[in-house]
Chain A
């Protein structure tokens, strides 16, 4: 069974750093793109960027380029999304999803709520 399990909710202060994770199982993690999607409270879905764990090829949405860093460690089937200096406007639920690059997102993590206050 394909699963993406994300790290737990976090509460941070503005200016702090944060790294959240997404661990895949039940498939060949290195061979599928993993995307990160933001959903601000009560709002829609925004594609932030994507990584191919097999070779760490990474693409960012221009809206998020320079604001976050996407990485992956294929040895432990885990992708990451990190911030070096959080803002209040980063408060949102963040989802990882398999695919979402040249294919639809067929499996999604449960979401990680990040609160910056």
Chain B
């Protein structure tokens, strides 16, 4: 299985400041034939299902605020919230869909400092 490791496990950021979450995969999720990274980011708030934020590592899902951005390639990826808002408090997961079984990172809890 491809192991997804996120860091940190939790972080506290002041309102309006930048939050950065890292995700590392145990093997590359870049498919060379189409040059796509099979990597997504989700946001999950308490009592709610996950919500897709980013797919193909850097494409923002429709309706997602542009303060959310994804970057990286191969095995190392980053989710950045450029200016943290109160409604961004949640757990964030990365996930590879390169190979079955699809696997998620352990989650990163984002709170307000």
Q: Is A63 in contact with chain B by the CB < 8 A criterion?
A: yes
Size bin of chain A's contact surface: 20 to 34
Q: Is A114 in contact with chain B by the CB < 8 A criterion?
A: no
Q: Is B77 in contact with chain A by the CB < 8 A criterion?
A: no
The contact of B51 among A37, A44, A108, by CB within 8 Å, is A108
| B contact patch SS | loop
Separation of A45 and B102 alpha carbons in the complex (Å) = 10
Q: Is B40 in contact with chain A by the CB < 8 A criterion?
A: yes
Instruction: Decide if A101 touches B93 in the complex (CB within 8 Å).
Output: no
Question: A104-117 toward B: CB 8 Å interface, digit per residue (1/0)?
Answer: 11101111000000
In the complex, chain B residues 67-96 whose Cβ is within 8 Å of any chain A Cβ: 93, 95
Instruction: Decide if A106 touches B52 in the complex (CB within 8 Å).
Output: yes
The contact of B101 among A47, A102, A103, A105, by CB within 8 Å, is A47
Instruction: Decide if B107 touches A95 in the complex (CB within 8 Å).
Output: no
Look across to chain A and name the residue whose beta carbon is closest to the beta carbon of B49: A108
In the complex, chain B residues 7-29 whose Cβ is within 8 Å of any chain A Cβ: none
Knowing A95-B49, A110-B49 are in contact, say whether A101-B97 is a contact too (CB < 8 A): yes
Supply 4 further A-B pairs (C-beta < 8 A) apart from A46-B104, A103-B97: A44-B106, A44-B107, A105-B40, A109-B49
